[in-house]
Amino acid sequence: MHPTTITVKDAASGAAGLAPRTPAVRVVGAHKSFVRPEGVQTVLQDISIDVAPGEFICLLGASGCGKSTLLNLVAGLDEPTSGRIEVTGGRPALMFQEHALFPWLTAGKNIELVLRLRGVSRPERRARAEELLGLVRLQDAYGKRVHELSGGMRQRVALARALAQDSEVLLMDEPFAALDAITRDVLHEELTRIWQETGVSVLFVTHNVREAVRLAQRVVLLSCRPGRIAREWTIGMPQPRRIEDPTVAELSAEITDQLRKEIRRHGRH
Amino acid sequence: MGGTDIRTAKPAGADEELAGLEAGLDSLESVPVSRTPVGQVLRQKVAPPLLGAAFVLVAWQLVHAGGLVSEERLPGPRAVGDSFLTLWRQGTLFEIVWTSLERGLLGFLAALAIGTPLGLVVARVPFVRAALGPVLSGLQSLPSVAWVPAAIMWFGLTDAAMYTVILLGAVPSIAVGLVSGIDQVPPLYLRAGRTIGATGLRGARYIVLPAALPGYTAGLKQGWAFSWRSLMATELIASSPDLGVGLGRYLANSREAIDLPGVFFGILLILAVGVLIDLLVFSPLERRVLRSRGLR
Ligand SMILES: Nc1ncnc2c1ncn2[C@@H]1O[C@H](COP(=O)(O)OP(=O)(O)O)[C@@H](O)[C@H]1O
Ligand SMILES: [Mg+2]
């Protein structure tokens, strides 16, 4: 085997608040408004979040609350109207709900394109692409076209492609929302394992409460119109968790109550 | 919180279990892609057009033999075949075909070299698009024969005049094809490209152009058809010993010699060359592009 470049960190030490290290992502007082024909719409108001190195945060909120907008700001695809966003370790990797793999390339070449854009040499690209496919357990998919892969396999290739950026931060925008329950469950397990193996910091957006509790060390609830941080929960339960765990269910019920309360506030006017 | 049901260690074999589950899901959900058997291809793709051509030939022969149309109006397949044999014996058949084909292909390549950057600029620069977009669409619907008199007045009876008409016919098709190809690129690919650092020229090379390939190949196909038509029209009209005898000239010469079988043979040759190039070059290209994306 070629030498692996995946750094293995002790997952337990990845938890937040252990040492005052520079956060991997630092969002300070971010506002975002869009100018529309009907007027100015404030989508995000005074958002501040620190993501510690190696931390796994789930950003939870109803649809249309500005979760994707926030992720785009962190990804550098858009600028905040005011406030600051700092990211260490270069451009963050971003994974979407749609796999966003390029259909004119094979699974392996999709990963190699990322490496090529980073200036990795050709022989190294091939080895690294195969290594990353191995990491998501798709060793045999190197030469497969995107349309030959199932939904779950596509998201795993997309994850491998995101990891190919070798960023310290991985942003995920409802990446498993379109998958069936069994596949999603498997991908939760895989993501947890890969997060533990690589020590990458993850900011994971979802509207699925159980998914958030299943995955995160910290769940941040976003309120709607304008999007503000309503509450947050720290989850000490060790990984791997199961989505059926009674503790997961209990906490999910509590968070769901809060989420519903947030949504109900908007029904009144 | 979270202290009640702590699972400290992974059960032995949990990882293998997950791997097995995943492998099962993968194989259940993957659609096996198999090649169509040769027999089926022959039956469904090759046989029908051959049958169609045979039908036309038989109908032609019947109409001819039945004496419905006089010999001066409609020569029979045999007379047209004789025109072929005459050219074959003279040894000029390939020369005639090649004179036109060479012009057509060179003109097409020139149109490609001009139409591609033009399409890129029109698609990506809003001002250029606003200025040139309507012009290109207009040119696309103007029959390029209309340019023949102007081209002859500019360049005389030369190859340059021929290439001018070809370019005016094919460049708009190729450019417009590329523009619509680029317009149809899903914004998601552009966003994904930007997050992996494919911006500016690198974005054009690695994301925009490959993503626009289906529209572009459609434009190329149409560009070839327009090149060929424009060229035939020009050869038919422009007559000069310097220009040599191409297919269009052969057709015009046959008319001047009141050789109707020759005229028919000329038409068949022009048709055959146009179809053959499409069949050998552009259709396979288009099929490859679409198939590799699972679009066909
Ligand atoms: N580029 C944009 N221009 C105008 N409005 C936008 C834009 N992007 C998002 N919005 C608005 O911001 C709000 C939040 O959108 P989004 O971040 O996609 O929500 P979520 O991902 O939480 O479902 C929506 O009301 C949407 O209409
Ligand atoms: Mg969203």
> B37-62 pLDDT, tens per residue?
888 888 888 888 889 989 999 998 88
Cβ atoms of residues A198 and A52 within 8 Å: no
Does A67 sit in the ligand 1 pocket, CB within 6 Å? yes
Residue (of A92, A94, A81) closest to A47 by Cα position: A81
Order of strands, edge to edge, in the sheet holding A201-206?
A: A93-95, A169-173, A201-206, A56-60, A218-222, A229-234
- Given a cut of 60, whether residue A106 has pLDDT beyond it is yes
The beta-carbon neighbor of A98 closest among B6, B8, B188 is B188
pLDDT value at residue A50: 92
pLDDT in tens, B230-264: 999 999 988 888 788 899 999 999 999 999 999 99
Does A63 sit in the ligand 1 pocket, CB within 6 Å? yes
- Residue A121, CA distances (Å) to A3, A90, A132, B201, B213 in order: 15, 20, 16, 20, 27
pLDDT value at residue A90: 82
ipTM above 0.90, yes or no: no
Protein residue whose Cα sits closest to atom 25 of ligand 1 = A64
In this structure, of A15-29, A47-61, B110-124, the range with the lowest mean pLDDT score is A15-29
Does A223 sit in the ligand 1 pocket, CB within 6 Å? no
pLDDT value at residue A88: 86
CA distance A14 to chain B (A): 17
User: Residue A175 — pLDDT band, cuts 50, 70, 90?
Assistant: very high
pLDDT value at residue B252: 92
User: What is the number of residues in chain B?
Assistant: 296
In this structure, of A263-267, B89-93, B245-249, the range with the lowest mean pLDDT score is A263-267
- Residue B1, CA distances (Å) to A152, A247, B126, B167 in order: 32, 8, 57, 75
Distance CA A181, CA B154 (A): 70
| Pairing assessment for the beta strands A39-51 and A218-222 based on DSSP bridges | unpaired
User: Tokens 């005459």 — which residue?
Assistant: B86
A240–B7 CB contact, under 8 Å: yes
- Stretch 40-99 of chain A: residues touching chain B, C-beta under 8 Å: 75, 77, 91-94, 96, 98
Does A71 sit in the ligand 1 pocket, CB within 6 Å? no
In this structure, of A3-12, A81-90, B98-107, the range with the lowest mean pLDDT score is A3-12
Q: What is the mean pLDDT of residues B200-225?
A: 91
pLDDT value at residue B105: 93
- Tell me if chain A has a CB within 8 Å of the CB of B12: no
- Given a cut of 80, whether residue B10 has pLDDT beyond it is no
pLDDT value at residue A117: 93
| pTM score, whole prediction | 0.80
- Given a cut of 60, whether residue A209 has pLDDT beyond it is yes
User: Residue A268 — pLDDT band, cuts 50, 70, 90?
Assistant: low
Cβ atoms of residues A92 and A52 within 8 Å: no
- Taking the CA of residue A227 as reference, the ligand 1 atom at the shortest distance is 14
Protein residue whose Cα sits closest to atom 5 of ligand 1 = A34
In this structure, of A107-121, B16-30, B52-66, B180-194, the range with the lowest mean pLDDT score is B16-30
- Given a cut of 60, whether residue A2 has pLDDT beyond it is no
Q: What is the mean pLDDT of residues B55-76?
A: 86
